[in-house]
Amino acid sequence: MIQGLVREAGNRSKVAVSTNDDSIDPVGTCIGPRSSRVNAIIQELAGEKIDVVRYSDNLCEYVTAALAPATVLQVEQVDMRSFCVTVPEDQLSLAIGREGQNARLAARLISGKVDIKAAARV
């Protein structure tokens, strides 16, 4: 099932998917064998990038998935739909994305606010 979809036309889309059957991988099913399903859609959208992520009712897990492909170290829920996310220092630019695109799409996907910071060096 598609649980959420956000798009910046011509650039990137994020799609959150889920399933009721634990034996099915919803992300793998949407991407298809050798990326055949998602590549057909990418071709129709003239090369637009598509991130397929796993939906979760656990908002912290959902935020982590929404920020893919960045690695998330910690998610702290500030209030109902506001999160503070910590990523490794070398992943900060990936988590934010070009001109803030990845963070912006993730925030829209979860219908909330995402603040991203780099982990402090030890």
Sequence spans of domains, the chain: 2-118
What's the pLDDT at 120? 77
pLDDT at 122: 61
pLDDT per residue as tens digits for the range 70-85: 999 999 999 999 999 9
Annotate 19-63 with DSSP letters as a single string: -S-TTS-HHHHHH-GGGHHHHHHHHHTTT-EEEEEE--SSHHHHH
Residues 6+ apart with CB under 8 A from 113: 81, 82, 83, 107
Q: Residues 37, 73: contact at Cβ < 8 Å?
A: no
Please state, in angstroms and rounded to a whole number, the distance separating the CA atoms of residues 68 and 32: 18
- Homologous superfamily of the 2-118 domain (CATH): K homology (KH) domain (3.30.300.20)
The rounded distance, in Å, linking the Cα atoms of 96 and 77 is 18
